[in-house]
A and B are shown apart, each in its own frame.
Chain A
Amino acid sequence: MSDKMQQPHPAIDVAYIARLAKIKLSEEEQSRLTRDLEQILDYVQQLEKWDTQHIEPMYHPIPTFDALRPDVPGESLSADAALGNAPQQEDGQFCVPKVVESAH
């Protein structure tokens, strides 16, 4: 353990994070989440206690090797099945709001 002073975490701009996460938050949700996140991030600061300088990050709990399988065509979902849950679909395609304004 190092006895380095714990740095306070930087201010959290929840409105900005919500834009990155593409979730529209009300004012009330923003202030509540700011409070919750500050508390949680204060707590996780304790990880600074441990000297992890020479520790390899562990991205996966089990070492897996050679997870490749032969590249052979198999069955996949039909277009109908894949579109079956679309909130809006037409002519075998997903409908999205118009992204580019029309020229006229």
Chain B
Amino acid sequence: MISPGTSLNALQKALRGGEISPLEVIKYYAGRMDELNPQLNALLSYDRETALSAAAKADISLPLGGLPIAIKDNICRKGITTSCASRMLENFCSPYNATAVEKLLAAGAIPFGRANMDEFAMGSSGENSAYGSTRNPADLQHVPGGSSSGSAAAVAAGLIPAALGSDTGGSVRQPASHCGVVGLKPTYGRISRYGLVAFASSLDQIGTLTHSVEDAALLLGILCGHDEKDSTSSQEPVPDFVSGLHDSISNMRIGLPREYTGGGNAKPVSSALEAATKALQDAGAEICEISLPHAEAAVASYYIIACAEASSNLARYDGIRYGHRSRLTHDPDALFSLSRAEGFGEEVKRRIILGTYVLSGGYYDAYYARAQKARALVAQDFAKAFSELGVQLILGPVAPTPAPNLHAVDMTPLQTYLADIYTVPANLAGLPAISVPTPQSGLPVGVQLLAPHFEEARLLRAAATLEQSWK
């Protein structure tokens, strides 16, 4: 009755129709985890007994009653380790729930499984986890993408029907594309960041990984809303994202930036983009070529801003109040430096050092201030496209290639950063964006849609149209 690809929506119908019980649902996914997690390493831990006792009390009349959802390990759950896949937080037991987790619980969902990730959400392959790489379920020799590597792989392999992730520069959309699931990053501020361990606070946003666009809409409706514990969370009204999902997109104008279709894309990525263009046209949308003249500035601007904010946010890990503490010294200053040296992995150190450098005396204007101005230019490109050029959505690739091989050791850090070219602009500009899988014979490839601020309903409608056209 349940299969690895069963959606939340289908599970909910089966639960409410009495075809299956909440206990059977948890047993099914726990069985999948036992069988497949040893090879995938998608989940850092999963507590079957706690999930079963939640299932025994589940109220299936609630909006997510009895539905299990995995949580990326940088989103706090009370009484449970939240490690950010870092040695630094190996023994950190969160004293409170993130607001997103509170909302899932209030809607009757059962959080089940701590999803592996790149350490502190820094990376795009899943290989920066202190607890081992996650594998891509489509081909174990390939990376799942990152940083929400475990969330994407767990959903793709049917270890769980849906997962929360976080997206600072593409960390939900890119692994969704590489694993063949739907990855939604809402507008900045749509979902409260309270209890999401901070990486880059002006870019971070919680998102969802699901089998279907409808499931993304269902979860978004639950997770959105203003939270007085996060002053940047939005006061915008929360519409019903599910009800208009299958309305026509006839006459919708969708922009295809010429900067996104150049020779830098691998063949399967170009083909996926062509297929999406055709599917949207067949549904009555008008696809028009547009230009985002500052597209090239996005990666440079992003890495300066993200690393600067990270260097500040990660200053809290000092080995005193929580987190790893070095045993090698009793000197107070050395205690900080050694605790951080032992607790952080290579990529985290690299980004803290880069961020510290661009904020340091004499370089602030040359790097940080300039990057924030370039960010404004990137955002203005989108604003112009959505106003002057009159497009309602933008279509593009998610990543220039399908999932790379594991251990691509010949790549320099800069080369891996450059592959974020299509995902970082949505974070810089705060826009909602979604990755939708395309039909493939080889490795999965998604396409991306972007919308103006708070237009998730429109974004999801076009994404559902794409999904439907390939059924």
25 A/B residue pairs, CB under 8 Å, sorted by A: A17-B353, A18-B353, A20-B356, A21-B340, A22-B318, A24-B334, A25-B341, A29-B349, A41-B367, A44-B300, A44-B304, A47-B371, A50-B377, A55-B377, A57-B372, A58-B376, A62-B453, A67-B231, A82-B95, A85-B322, A86-B321, A87-B323, A87-B325, A98-B330, A99-B332
**Closest chain B residue to A64, Cβ basis:** B232
B114 at the interface (CB under 8 A from A): no
| A80: nearest chain-B partner, CB-CB | B95
Asked if A52 meets B412 with Cβ closer than 8 Å, knowing A29-B349, A62-B453, the reply is no
Does the CB pair B341–A24 fall under 8 Å? yes
Chain A interface SS verdict (over half): loop
Query: Knowing A20-B356, A84-B95 touch, does A62 contact B187 (C-beta < 8 A)?
Result: yes
Q: Total A-B pairs in contact (CB under 8 Å)?
A: 168
Report the bound CA distance from A85 to B346 in whole Å.
24
Are the CB atoms of A61 and B202 closer together than 8 Å?
yes
Q: Which residues of A contact B (CB under 8 A)?
A: 10, 12, 14, 17-25, 29, 33, 36-37, 39-41, 43-44, 46-48, 50, 52, 55-62, 64, 67-69, 77, 81-82, 84-88, 94, 96-99
Give B332's nearest chain A residue, CB to CB: A97
Answer whether A85 and B372 are a contact pair too, CB < 8 Å, given A23-B340, A55-B377. Answer: no
10 A-B pairs with least C-beta separation: A61-B430, A57-B372, A85-B322, A87-B325, A52-B373, A67-B231, A58-B376, A44-B300, A24-B341, A24-B337
A residues in contact with B349, CB < 8 Å:
23, 25, 29, 33
Q: How far is the CA of A46 from the CA of B333 in the complex (A)?
A: 37
A82 to chain B: which residues have CB within 8 Å? 95
* Given A21-B353, A97-B331, 6 other A-B residues pairs in contact with their CB atoms under 8 A: A33-B353, A43-B300, A61-B189, A85-B95, A98-B330, A98-B332
Judge whether B374 and A61 touch: CB under 8 Å: no
Report whether A52 and B202 are in contact in the complex, using a CB–CB cutoff of 8 Å: no
A64-B189 contact in complex given A22-B340, A77-B95, A96-B320, C-beta closer than 8 Å: yes
Given contacts A50-B374, A69-B228, whether A86 and B189 have CB atoms under 8 Å apart is: no
Report B-chain residues with C-beta under 8 Å of the C-beta of A97: 329-332, 335
List of A residues within 8 angstroms of B379 by Cβ:
58, 61
Find chain B residues with CB under 8 A from A69 CB: 228, 231
Query: In whole angstroms, how far apart are the Cα atoms of A57 and B304 in the complex?
Result: 13
CA of A98 to CA of B377 in the docked complex: distance in angstroms?
50
Across the interface, do B414 and A36 meet the contact criterion of CB distance under 8 Å? yes
A85 and B353 in contact, given A50-B294, A58-B376, A97-B331 (Cβ under 8 angstroms): no
Do the beta carbons of A85 and B323 come within 8 Å of each other? Answer: yes
Interface flags for B314-328 (1: CB within 8 Å of A; 0: not) read 010011111111000
> Please, how many angstroms separate the alpha-carbon atoms of A1 and B84 in the complex?
41
User: Residue B102 at the A interface, CB < 8 A?
Assistant: no
Residue B338 lies at the interface, judged by CB distance under 8 Å to chain A: yes
The smallest beta-carbon distance between A58 and chain B, in angstroms, is 4
Considering the complex, give the chain A residue whose CB is closest to the CB of B311.
Answer: A21
B93, B297, B427: the one contacting A47 at CB < 8 Å is B297
Interface flag for B96 (CB, 8 Å): yes
**Shortest beta-carbon distance, B259 to chain A, in Å?**
14
Contact partner of B189 among A48, A62, A94, A99, CB < 8 A?
A: A62
**Binding site secondary structure of chain B:** helix
Residues of chain B within 8 A of A99, CB atoms compared = 332
Is B354 among interface residues, defined by CB-CB distance under 8 A?
Answer: yes
Q: Which of A24, A59, A67 contacts B338 (CB 8 A)?
A: A24
The interface of chain B, by Cβ under 8 A from chain A, is 91-93, 95-96, 187-189, 202-203, 228, 231-232, 234, 294, 296-297, 299-301, 303-304, 311, 315, 318-325, 329-338, 340-341, 344, 346, 349-350, 352-354, 356-357, 360, 363, 367, 369-377, 379, 412-414, 417, 427-430, 453
- Provide the residues of chain B in CB contact with A98, threshold 8 Å: 330, 332
Residue of A nearest to B300 (CB): A44
Q: Which of A18, A22, A64, A96 is packed against the most chain B CB atoms within 10 Å?
A: A22
* Contact A47–B417 (Cβ < 8 Å): no
Residues A21 and B322 in contact, CB atoms below 8 Å apart = no
> Is B202 a contact partner of A60 (Cβ separation < 8 A)?
yes
Task: Report the bound CA distance from A59 to B324 in whole Å.
Answer: 32
Given B367, B428, B430, which contacts A44 in the complex, CB threshold below 8 Å?
Answer: B367
Closest to B329 in A: A97
* A39 and B325 alpha carbons, distance in the complex (Å): 32
Partner of B374, one of A12, A41, A52: A52
A12–B303 Cα gap in the complex (Å)?
A: 17
Chain A residue with the shortest CB-CB distance to B338: A24
Which chain B positions have C-beta within 8 A of A37? 350, 353-354, 357
In contact, B350 and A36 (Cβ under 8 angstroms): yes
Nearest residue in A to B363 (C-beta to C-beta)?
A: A10
Separation of A69 and B202 alpha carbons in the complex (Å): 20
Q: Give chain B residues whose Cβ lies under 8 Å from the Cβ of A10.
A: 363
**A46-B340 in contact (CB<8A):** no
